[in-house]
Structure 1
Amino acid sequence: MQRYTSWAEIEPSATPAEKKLRDAVTAAAFCHLGGGGLPDTPDDWTAPNPARHIRADVLRFFLRGGCADCPATELGVMLDGALVTGTLSLTDCNLSGNMLLHNCRFQNGINATRCRTTKNFRLASCRVPFLEAGGLKVDGQLSCIGAEFQNKGGTALNLQNAEIGQTLFLRSAKILGAAHLNGLKTGDQLDCDGAEFQNKGGTALNLQNAKIGQALFLDSAKTLGAAHLNGLRTGGQLSCIGAEFQNKDGMALNLQNAEIDQDLFLRSAKILGAADLNGLRTGGQLSCIGAEFQNEGGMALNLQNAEIGHDFFFPSQDKVQGVINLTTASCGDLVDQPAGGPDGCTLILNGFSYRSIHRFTDARTRLDWLARGDHWKGEFFPQPYKQLAKVLHDMGHEADAREVLYVMEKKLGQERRKSLRQEIANLRSETPSLGQRIARYFLLTAEYASDWLQRVTVGYGRKPFRSIGVLAGLIITFWLFTLAAWHSGGFAPNSSIVLTSPQWAAYDTRDKTPNPANPADHWSNKTIPGRDWESFNAFAYAADVVVPIIDFGQTEAWAPSTTRGPAGVVLWWMRWVFTILGWIVTALGAAALTGIIRRE
Structure 2
Amino acid sequence: MEIDELTRPERRVWEAFPRGEEVDLAADGERTVRARVLRSLLLRAPAEDGEIPALRLRGARITGELDLHSAVVTAPVSLRECVFEQTVVLYGAEFRQLALRGCRMPGLWATTVRVDGALRLNDCRVTGPLRLSGARVGGALFLGRAVLDAERGERGPEESGVALRLDHAVIGEDLRAASLTVHGQARLDGMTVTGYVRFDDARFLHPGGPRNTALQAETLTVGTDLHAMRMRAEGRVNLRGATVPGQLNLAYARLSNPGGVALRASSCTAGEFWLREAAPVEGAVNLRRARFDLLHVAPSVLPGEVLLDALAYTTLAPALPAAERLEVLTRDGDGYVPFAYEQLTAAYRHIGDDAAARTVQLAKQRRHRTTLSPHGRLWGHLQDVTVGYGFRPLRAAGWLAGLLLLGAVTFGLHPPRPLKADEAPGFNAFAYALDLLLPIIDFGQEKAYAPEGWYQWLAYLLIVAGWVLATTFVAGVNRTVSRA
TM-score by length of 1: 0.73
User: What is the distance in 2 between the residues matched to 1:183 and 1:219?
Assistant: 22
What amino acid does structure 2 have at the position aligned with 1:571?
Y
1:238 aligns with 2:197: yes
SS in 2 for 1:285: strand
Contact 1:292 1:315 in 2 (8 A): no
Q: Which one of the candidate residues 156, 169, 172 is aligned to 2:123?
A: 172
Q: Which one of the candidate residues 408, 414, 422 is aligned to 1:479?
A: 408
SS in 1 for 2:433: helix
SS in 2 for 1:299: strand
SS in 2 for 1:37: coil
User: What is the distance in 2 between the residues matched to 1:557 and 1:386?
Assistant: 49
Give how far 1:228 is off: 0.3
User: What is the distance in 2 between the residues matched to 1:144 and 1:215?
Assistant: 17
SS in 1 for 2:446: helix
User: What is the distance in 2 between the residues matched to 1:102 and 1:317?
Assistant: 40
SS in 1 for 2:404: helix
Q: Which one of the candidate residues 198, 216, 224 is aligned to 1:254?
A: 216
What amino acid does structure 1 have at the position aligned with 2:420?
S
SS in 2 for 1:551: coil
Give how far 1:593 is off: 5.2
> What is aligned with 2:256?
294
> What is aligned with 1:146?
102
Q: Which one of the candidate residues 304, 308, 327 is aligned to 1:349?
A: 308
Q: Which one of the candidate residues 413, 417, 425 is aligned to 1:492?
A: 417
Give how far 1:395 is off: 1.7
Q: In 2 relative to 1, CA 211–25 (structure 1 residues): closer, same or farther, beyond 3 Å? A: closer
Give how far 1:449 is off: 4.2
> What is aligned with 1:193?
144
- Per-residue CA shift, 1:577-597, capped at 9, x if unaligned? 3222222333444455566xx
Q: In 2 relative to 1, CA 583–383 (structure 1 residues): closer, same or farther, beyond 3 Å? A: same
What amino acid does structure 2 have at the position aligned with 1:584?
V
User: What is the distance in 2 between the residues matched to 1:387 and 1:104?
Assistant: 60
Alignment of 1:21-420 (within 5 A): 21-25=13-17, 29-32=21-24, 36-37=25-26, 51-65=30-44, 72-73=47-48, 97-128=53-84, 129-139=86-96, 141-150=97-106, 156-200=107-151, 202-248=161-207, 249=209, 250-308=212-270, 310-314=271-275, 316=277, 318-338=279-299, 340-341=300-301, 345-373=304-332, 375-376=333-334, 379-417=335-373
Give how far 1:175 is off: 0.7
- Per-residue CA shift, 1:384-428, capped at 9, x if unaligned? 1101111211221111111111111121122123xxxxxxxxxxx
User: What is the distance in 2 between the residues matched to 1:557 and 1:61?
Assistant: 116
User: What is the distance in 1 between the residues matched to 2:355 and 2:227?
Assistant: 35
Give how far 1:535 is off: 3.9
User: What is the distance in 2 between the residues matched to 1:21 and 1:230?
Assistant: 39
User: What is the distance in 1 between the residues matched to 2:166 and 2:245?
Assistant: 20
- Per-residue CA shift, 1:351-398, capped at 9, x if unaligned? 11111123324212221232233x42xx31011110111121122111
SS in 2 for 1:455: helix
Contact 1:461 1:593 in 2 (8 A): no
Contact 2:39 2:68 in 1 (8 A): no
Give how far 1:56 is off: 4.1
What amino acid does structure 1 have at the position aligned with 2:231?
A
SS in 1 for 2:129: strand
Give how far 1:463 is off: 3.1
> What is aligned with 1:466?
395
User: What is the distance in 2 between the residues matched to 1:469 and 1:317?
Assistant: 45
SS in 2 for 1:452: helix
Give how far 1:64 is off: 3.7
Contact 2:34 2:64 in 1 (8 A): no
SS in 1 for 2:370: helix
User: What is the distance in 2 between the residues matched to 1:380 and 1:592?
Assistant: 25
User: What is the distance in 2 between the residues matched to 1:242 and 1:125?
Assistant: 23
Contact 2:20 2:54 in 1 (8 A): no
What amino acid does structure 2 have at the position aligned with 1:37?
A
What is the aligned-residue identity percentage?
27
SS in 1 for 2:427: coil
User: What is the distance in 2 between the residues matched to 1:75 and 1:171?
Assistant: 31
SS in 1 for 2:161: strand
Q: In 2 relative to 1, CA 349–27 (structure 1 residues): closer, same or farther, beyond 3 Å? A: closer
> What is aligned with 2:157?
none
Q: In 2 relative to 1, CA 108–480 (structure 1 residues): closer, same or farther, beyond 3 Å? A: farther
Give how far 1:237 is off: 0.7
User: What is the distance in 2 between the residues matched to 1:29 and 1:589?
Assistant: 86
- Per-residue CA shift, 1:461-520, capped at 9, x if unaligned? 33344322222222222233223324xxxx43341546xxxxxxxxxxxxxxxxxxxxxx
Contact 2:435 2:442 in 1 (8 A): yes
Contact 1:125 1:148 in 2 (8 A): yes
Q: In 2 relative to 1, CA 383–539 (structure 1 residues): closer, same or farther, beyond 3 Å? A: same
Aligned residues: 468
SS in 2 for 1:554: coil
Give how far 1:54 is off: 4.1
Q: Which 5+ residue runs of structure 2 have no aligned equivalent?
A: 152-159, 480-484
SS in 2 for 1:555: coil
User: What is the distance in 2 between the residues matched to 1:217 and 1:372?
Assistant: 36
Q: In 2 relative to 1, CA 102–538 (structure 1 residues): closer, same or farther, beyond 3 Å? A: same
Q: In 2 relative to 1, CA 590–281 (structure 1 residues): closer, same or farther, beyond 3 Å? A: same
The ranges of structure 1 where at least 4 consecutive aligned residues each deviate by more than 6 angstroms after the TM superposition are none
Alignment of 1:580-599 (within 5 A): 580-591=464-475
SS in 2 for 1:466: helix
Give how far 1:189 is off: 0.6
Contact 2:174 2:197 in 1 (8 A): yes
Q: In 2 relative to 1, CA 130–459 (structure 1 residues): closer, same or farther, beyond 3 Å? A: same
User: What is the distance in 1 between the residues matched to 2:421 and 2:426?
Assistant: 18
| Larger-gyration structure (1/2) | 1
- Per-residue CA shift, 1:53-103, capped at 9, x if unaligned? 54444444443447xxxx543799xxxxxxxxxxxxxxxxxxx94222211
Give how far 1:125 is off: 0.8
- Per-residue CA shift, 1:137-174, capped at 9, x if unaligned? 012x2111111112xxxxx1111000110111111111
Contact 2:35 2:64 in 1 (8 A): no
What amino acid does structure 2 have at the position aligned with 1:371?
T
Give how far 1:323 is off: 0.5
> What is aligned with 1:437?
none
SS in 2 for 1:209: coil
User: What is the distance in 1 between the residues matched to 2:465 and 2:389?
Assistant: 17
Give how far 1:348 is off: 1.2
Q: In 2 relative to 1, CA 21–538 (structure 1 residues): closer, same or farther, beyond 3 Å? A: closer
User: What is the distance in 1 between the residues matched to 2:16 and 2:444?
Assistant: 117
Q: In 2 relative to 1, CA 106–255 (structure 1 residues): closer, same or farther, beyond 3 Å? A: same
Give how far 1:556 is off: 4.0
What amino acid does structure 1 have at the position aligned with 2:42?
L
